[in-house]
Amino acid sequence: MMYTTAIVIGAGHAGLAMSRRLTERSIDHVVLERGEVANSWRTQRWPSLRLLTPNWQTRLPGHDYAGDDPDGYMPAADVAATLTAYARVVGAPVRTATTVHAVRAGPVGFEIQAGDDLLRAQAVVLAAGGCIRSAIPAVASALPSQVTTMTPLDYRDPGQLPDGGVLVVGASATGVQLAGEIHRSGRPVTLAVGEHVRLPRSYRGRDIFWWLEATGLLAERYDQIDDLTRARHLPSPQLTGAPEAIMTDLNTLAAQGIRTVGRLGRIADGVAQFSGALANTCALADLKMNRFLNRADQWATASGLDGDLPPPHRFAPTRVDPGIPLELDLTSGEITTVLWATGFRPDHSWLGIPVHDRAGRIRHDGGIVTGAPGLYVLGMPVLRTRASTYIHGAGADSEALAGHLHSFLSSQRS
C-alpha cells in the first residue's frame, strides 16, 4: 500500500498541467499513466493528423511555443514530443505503464487499484482523456457484415482499407480530414453530413483561432453558457491543420469530387437511409458561421483594428446538389468501408464512485466532481470555459482546480 496526498490519472497535457500546478503548491502527488507520456497522441491519432490550433496557441503552464513556425500546425508526433519534453521540464512524477483499474472510496479519501498496487490518496484528479473511445451510433449494428468498419482511433492511413468506396459518417474536423485523405488515395468517398460547424481557416488575414480568442469567445465561462450540455457536445469545426491551411468546408470537398449526403439515419435491409434535410443543415451552419464573422467584425471595429486588417468579406454559401441520393445499398459492393467519424467519448468505466448522471456522464461543477469531495475531472470539452476543449485551456482550468484542491486539503487538516 502506497500513500500520497494526490493522484492524477493520465499523463496527457491535462494531467501534466495539473502536475505542474500541484508541484507549484508543494502538494505531494503521482501521475499514473497506462502507456507513456502523451499516450493518446502516440497510439490513438492517425499519423497525418495536425493540430487545428496554431502552434502559438499550444501553451501550457510555464510553457510557450518557442519554435520558428508559430503560425504552423503541429503534427501528432510533435505534440507527443512537446508533451514528453514538458513532462521532463516540469518534473512530473509520472509512473508509466500503470493502468488504473479502479478508484473507490477509501477509509480516508480514495483507494486506487493500479496494476497490482493499491494506492491511497486524499484527492484524485481524473485527467484520463475526453477522447478515449469512439462514439458510434446505434445504427452501426445494422451494417451488412461484408462492410469493413473502422473508427478514427484505429485508422492510420488509407492503405489499411480494402479497395472500393468509403462512407465516412460525420463531417466535423475528423470526418472532413479523413474524407479528404482517403479520397486522395483514389477511393471514391461519400460523406454523410449531420450537424456541423463551418468556419474558415483564416479570416481577414488572421487564423480563425486568433479571432476565436481575440473576440473572447473561447473565454466564455461554463456557468454563463445558456445551454451547457449542447456546448459540451458541439461538433469540432470543419478545419484542418494541413500546411497549406486551406478551407475544408463542404464546397471544397465537393469540388475535389467527394460526394456529400445527409445525416445517416437508419440502415434497413442493408440500405443506408440519409436525411433529406442536408440543405437546411448547411444553411444553419452558414448562418452560424456568418454570425461569428459579424461578431469578429464588430470586435475589430470596436478595437480600432479595421485599418490594420483587410476589409470584411463573406464566404460563398454551401452548395447542396438537389439530386443527392437519399439511400445507398451497402450490399451492392459500391461501399466496402464505413468510417465512423461520429465523435469521441471519455472512458471512466473504472470509476467506482457513484457520481454519474443518467447518461453516464460525471456530474461536476467546472471540474469539481459533485458529491465526492477531493475528486476532480480535467480535460473535458467546455469544462470551465470554451477554451477547455483545447490544449491551452488546461492552463486556467488546472490553476482553478489545483486552487480548489489545495483549499480542500487545508480544510481536511483543520
Ligand X SMILES: Cc1cc2nc3c(=O)[nH]c(=O)nc-3n(C[C@H](O)[C@H](O)[C@H](O)COP(=O)(O)OP(=O)(O)OC[C@H]3O[C@@H](n4cnc5c(N)ncnc54)[C@H](O)[C@@H]3O)c2cc1C
Binding site for ligand X (CB under 6 A): 9-15, 32-35, 39-40, 45, 49, 51-53, 99-100, 127-132, 174, 344, 350, 379, 390-391
What is the rounded CA–CA span in Å between residue 157 and residue 185?
9
Residue reference for cell 503534427: 75
Count of Cβ atoms closer than 10 Å to residue 198 Cβ: 26
| Nearest approach, Cβ of residue 328 and ligand X (Å) | 26
User: Please, which residue, 165 or 381, has the CB nearer to ligand X?
Assistant: 381
Question: Burial, 408: exposed, middle or buried (Cβ in 10 Å; 0-12, 13-18, 19+)?
Answer: middle
- Cell numbers 503541429: residue: 74
Nearer to ligand X, 45 or 406 (CB): 45
Residue closer to ligand X by CB (options 12, 374) is 12
Q: Which residue has the cell 465537393?
A: 254
* Minimum gap (Å) between residue 99 Cβ and ligand X: 4
Say which residues have a Cβ less than 8 Å from residue 120's Cβ, sequence separation at least 6.
Answer: 1, 2, 3, 4, 106, 108, 109, 110, 111, 112
Minimum CB distance to ligand X, residue 70 (Å): 15
CB 323, min distance to ligand X, A: 32
* Minimum distance, C-beta of residue 216 to ligand X, in the bound complex (Å): 18
What is the rounded distance in angstroms from the CA atom of residue 315 to the CA atom of residue 200? Answer: 8
Identify the DSSP state of 29.
E
Q: Which is nearer to ligand X, 127 or 335 (CB)?
A: 127
Structural contact between residues 33 and 94, judged by C-beta atoms closer than 8 angstroms: yes
Nearer to ligand X, 347 or 365 (CB): 347
Q: How far is the CB of 85 from ligand X (least distance, A)?
A: 15
- Which of 53/84 has CB closer to ligand X? 53
Give one word for 91, left, alpha or beta, with left for phi > 0 and alpha for psi -120 to 50. Answer: left
In the complex, least distance from residue 42 CB atom to ligand X, rounded to whole angstroms: 8
133-134 and 344-345: which strand pairing?
Answer: antiparallel
C-alpha cell of residue 148: 469493413
- Whether 123 and 405 have beta carbons less than 8 Å apart is answered as yes
| Residue number with CB closer to ligand X (36 or 329) | 36
Alpha carbons 187 and 66: distance in angstroms, whole number: 39
User: Which three-class secondary structure state does DSSP give residue 158?
Assistant: helix
Nearer CB in complex with ligand X: 127/372:
127
Smallest gap from residue 32 Cβ to ligand X (A): 5
